[in-house]
Each structure stands twice: as C-alpha cells, then as structure tokens.
Structure 1
Amino acid sequence: MTTQTRTAPTTTAAGPVGPVALGLRQGRLEVRQFLRSRESVVFTMAFPVIMILIFASIFSGEIGGGVKFTQYFVTGMIATGLMTVGFQSLAIQIPIERDRGVLKRLRGTPMPKWVYFAGKVIMVAVIGVAETVLLLAVAVVLFDLRLPDTAGRWLTLGWVSALGITACTLCGIAFSSLARSGRSASAVVTPVALVLQFISGVFFVFTSLPTWMQQVAALFPLKWMCQGLRSVFLPESFGAQEPGGSFELGRVALVLAVWCVIGLLLCLTTFRWTTKRDG
C-alpha cells in the first residue's frame, strides 16, 4: 500500500502545483468526463426534467390552497436530481472505475488520494447546480412555477441543497463498495434510489402515503431534503400539513448533518481502491 498521501505541491512539467490547483484540475477533468458520457448526462440531468414534463402535464390541477401540483412536485424533483448526481451516479461510476483498474493506478501515482475525491465533489457540485437551474427554468417557462420571493427562502434553498448533496455524495462514495463489479453497480444502486423516491414524497404528496412508509422514509436523507425544499416553494400555511405540524427546518438540518457524519464514517471505513480479486 503506497504511503504517498501527503498534500505537498505536486510537480508537473509546468512546475509545482498547489493543493487548490490540483483539486480544481481534477474537478475539471471529472466534469469533462461526465459530459462526454451520453448515458450519464441523459440519466442524471435529463431524467428529472423528463419526469417534471410528464407529471406536470398529467397533474395540471391544484393540491389545494391555490397551489398547483407543479409547485409541490418541483421540490421532489430538485431533491431527486441532487440525490441522483450525488448518490446514484457516484455509487455506479466508482465501481466501474475500480473494475477497470483506474483507482488502482491512481493509488500508485504521486497524486494525493484526496485529489480524486475532491474531483468527484467538484463534479457533483457543478452538475447539481446546473441541474437545479435547468429544472427551475423548465418549470418557470412551461408551468408558471413561482420562485421563492424572499432572501430567506433562497437561503433555505441553498443550505438544504448543500447539506443534502453533501450527505448524498458521501453515501454514494460509501455505497460504491457494495457492488462486486462495475457491471453489477447499476443493478445494486438503482432499486435503492427508486424505492427512496417513491416513499419520500417525490412523486406523490407525502402525507397521502401510508404511515409506515412515511416512518421508513424519515430514516433517510431524501425525505428531509424534500421537506426542506417544500418550505421554500410552498406557502407557509402548508407547513401545518406536514407530519410534524410544520416544516421543522431545525430537524431537517440536524438529520441531514447526521447523515453527513454517517456517510463520512462509512467512507473512511469501507472504501476500497481495488476489487476483491486484486486483493
């Protein structure tokens, strides 16, 4: 096992490269690789847009109080988009890179190990922001979505999204160790993501789901991401319809922060650079 994990500047043909420059360079590389993968772009960025086009066209009425279904549905789609790019894409992409020996080769280079993860984090952040902007633009132009009208709501959108995508990214890196091979990664990850979407109030009004389903969903980040985002796009009066009688933003922050810690601990204890056959 290599011991070259220091964060000192790495020397290239152009001279020494500092830690920040290394991370940004790896991030640009990850973003380019993502955009070159047609499947990743379609699945990660186009899927939420397609879903909002379908559901908003079918359910064009109101859910009550003068609020359109689109206004409610967009919260789940934003949360799903963040989960897809943070959790699902990494949990599938990393096993493929591990299976191809990419991680093994990286571990044997002078590049600090943290640079690899920094690149993934930057890629997730860039694609997550782009996807959220795209979803909002489509919903505003085609379905008259009402954007947040106060600075406080925009701030809530920011911290809920940041905590949510951080938790999903860490969990995605940790979950990547479960797949036995790159080929099986999608089969392992996709069902988990789909089940979480159905029980977390993404496609349906959360309180219309069975109580036991709501309780199971409350154990995972996606439900709390959706709930926090509902406080941004829905009238304040809708908080009374939540299971807790309010949007519970304090609890949203606490649960997502706890999942960030859990995800980090799982990453540190379970991440593998090589396949089992490589030892």
Structure 2
Amino acid sequence: METVIPKTSTVFITLLRADVATLFSNRRSVIISLLVPVIILISWKGMIPQMGGPFALSTAITIGLMAIGLMGYTISISRDRDKGIFQRLRVAPVPGWAIMASRISIQLVMIMILTLLVFIVGFEYDKITLSAQGYLLTFAVAILGGAVYLSLGQLIVGMIKNPETVNATTRLTYFLFIMVGMFGELGALGPQVKQGVHWSPYGSVKLMLAASMEPVKWNNETTTTVLVSLGYVIIFAGIGIKNFKWNTK
C-alpha cells in the first residue's frame, strides 16, 4: 500500500486551524491580554496632556506585546509540551518549523489585533490621532517589538523544562518589566536604572513605538534601538531554539 504524505502547505493550514481553535477555547486569557493595555490607556487619560499621546499609546502597546509574547506564547508552549502534544506531532509527517510557524503566526495576528484595538480606543476615548504614515509605521514596528518578546519567551521555554518553573519565571519577568520599566523610565528608581531601562527590551521597544507614531522625530537613537531590538531577537531566539526540547524528559 502506498503511503500518501500530505503537502507541507496542507499540514500548515491544518495546524493553523487547530491553533486557532485552541486560541478560541482559551478566549478568556486572550481577552485579558487585550484588555490590560486598553485599561492602562484609559486610566492614563489625565496624563496625556503632559506626557503626550505617543507616550500613552506606546506604553499600552508595549505592555500588550509583553502579555502576548510572554504570558501567551511561552505558557502555551510549555503547557502543550508538558501534555505531550509536541511529541505526538513530531512522530507525524510534520516538519518542526511548521509546528512553530503556526504558533508564531497566531501570535502575530494577536499583535495586529492588539495594535488596532489600542489605536481605536486611543482615538475614540483619548482623542489621540496619528498621521497615516504613523499608523502604518507603528504596525510594522509593533511586529518587531512583538518578535522581541516572542524570542524572549522562546528563550525561557528553551532553557527551562518544568512547566511550573516556566510559569513562575514568565510571570516574574512580566512583572519586573512592567514595574521596573515604567517607574525606571520616569526616573523614579535613579539615573542608572533609567539608563538601563532605556536599552532594555522594554525601553527599546517602547522608544521604537513612540518614534514610529511621530515619524518626523525618528533619529539616530531610534535607529540604534531598532538594531538593538534585532540583536535581542537573534540572541534570544538563537539560544531558545538551540536548547528547546520537544518533551520534558
């Protein structure tokens, strides 16, 4: 009997449908991930006249990207690995890159939805408007920023096998980025911390987003943060992929 091996494109579409169904079944966590940056944006309405619209929008999107890359991607990968889902997929005629590409594609869609949602709330509630170029450039930069946190999540799940430890590490990293990033950026933790935050994944992504919303303010420092962010992606993803195990044994 002849064995029929499905096309890679067919397999990828099937995986994509399965991941969409999984995302829908976990819609509560998805809604929470989308609501957190929106709530922050709404609560900062009184600060917008002093800090500026791009500051508020970039902060909200940055926090949302962290939730998607760390809380969403990392924890789901760790959970499915612990359940043996990846191990079962690996014995099927499915290339490894297709499995991960399907997961990442879902996260990229989430990033686009998050960015669009923040723009809508910012316009309707806070009356923040950007130029057409600003909106388009921000979408592109949001994908790069999302890649930073997705690669950081890959690093965590690649270096740590135990799902409980992954969960704890991810939540701690998320908390530290928000607290140290937000307060450190404002100088509340001292000049040295402020400088460190500036070039951290949090600061680099936020600066890129804020500059992309006002393209006329894009300068050499912004370009440097783009290169730094690309460096984070390469390093985090490289180590995370190299050390990633398809099972917890």
Q: Aligned residues, how many? A: 246
Give the fraction of aligned pairs with identical amino acids, expressed as a percent: 20
Using the alignment, how far apart are the partners of 1:99 and 1:214 within structure 2?
A: 38
User: Which residue number corresponds to residue 246 of structure 2?
Assistant: 273
The alignment status of 1:208 with 2:191, answered yes or no, reads: no
Q: Paired residue for 1:257, among 230, 239, 247? A: 230
Using the alignment, how far apart are the partners of 2:232 and 2:161 within structure 1?
A: 24
Using the alignment, how far apart are the partners of 1:235 and 1:23 within structure 2?
A: 37
Amino acid at match of 1:206: E
Using the alignment, how far apart are the partners of 1:27 and 1:178 within structure 2?
A: 26
Note the residue ranges of structure 2 that are not aligned, 5 or more in a row: none
Using the alignment, how far apart are the partners of 1:159 and 1:191 within structure 2?
A: 28
Amino acid at match of 1:211: P
Q: What SS does structure 1 have at the residue aligned with 2:131?
A: coil
User: Which residue number corresponds to residue 99 of structure 2?
Assistant: 116
Name the Cα RMSD after superposition: 2.6
Using the alignment, how far apart are the partners of 1:26 and 1:142 within structure 2?
A: 38
Using the alignment, how far apart are the partners of 1:61 and 1:106 within structure 2?
A: 48
User: Which residue number corresponds to residue 231 of structure 1?
Assistant: 211
Q: What SS does structure 1 have at the residue aligned with 2:206?
A: helix
Using the alignment, how far apart are the partners of 1:258 and 1:26 within structure 2?
A: 30
TM-score of the superposed pair, with normalisation by structure 2: 0.86
Using the alignment, how far apart are the partners of 1:35 and 1:87 within structure 2?
A: 18
User: Which residue number corresponds to residue 96 of structure 1?
Assistant: 79
More helix by share: 2
Using the alignment, how far apart are the partners of 2:208 and 2:220 within structure 1?
A: 7
User: Which residue number corresponds to residue 78 of structure 1?
Assistant: 61
Q: Where in structure 2 are the equivalents of 1:160-171 lying within 5 Å?
A: 160-171=141-152
* Per-residue deviation, 1:150: 4.6
TM-score of the superposed pair, with normalisation by structure 1: 0.78
Q: Where in structure 2 are the equivalents of 1:107-146 lying within 5 Å?
A: 107-146=90-129
Bigger Rg, structure 1 or 2: 1
Using the alignment, how far apart are the partners of 1:247 and 1:174 within structure 2?
A: 29
* Per-residue deviation, 1:192: 0.6
Q: What SS does structure 1 have at the residue aligned with 2:50?
A: strand
* Per-residue deviation, 1:83: 2.3
Amino acid at match of 1:224: S
* Residues 166 and 60 of structure 1: CA distance in aligned 2, closer, same or farther (over 3 Å): closer
Which is further off, 94-103 or 225-234?
225-234
Which is further off, 212-221 or 251-260?
212-221
Q: What SS does structure 2 have at the residue aligned with 1:272?
A: coil
Using the alignment, how far apart are the partners of 1:35 and 1:47 within structure 2?
A: 18
The alignment status of 1:40 with 2:29, answered yes or no, reads: yes
* Residues 236 and 207 of structure 1: CA distance in aligned 2, closer, same or farther (over 3 Å): farther
Contact 1:29 1:119 in 2 (8 A): no
Using the alignment, how far apart are the partners of 1:223 and 1:261 within structure 2?
A: 18
* Residues 186 and 22 of structure 1: CA distance in aligned 2, closer, same or farther (over 3 Å): same
User: Which residue number corresponds to residue 149 of structure 1?
Assistant: 131
* Residues 82 and 21 of structure 1: CA distance in aligned 2, closer, same or farther (over 3 Å): farther
Note the residue ranges of structure 1 that are not aligned, 5 or more in a row: 1-9, 240-245
Amino acid at match of 1:46: L
The alignment status of 1:27 with 2:16, answered yes or no, reads: yes
User: Which residue number corresponds to residue 167 of structure 2?
Assistant: 186
Using the alignment, how far apart are the partners of 1:150 and 1:125 within structure 2?
A: 21
For each residue in 1:42-73, what CA deviation from the matched residue of structure 2 results, as whole angstroms up to 9, or x when unmatched?
Answer: 332222222222333xx356216xx3xx5422
Contact 2:135 2:213 in 1 (8 A): no
The alignment status of 1:106 with 2:79, answered yes or no, reads: no
Contact 2:207 2:225 in 1 (8 A): yes
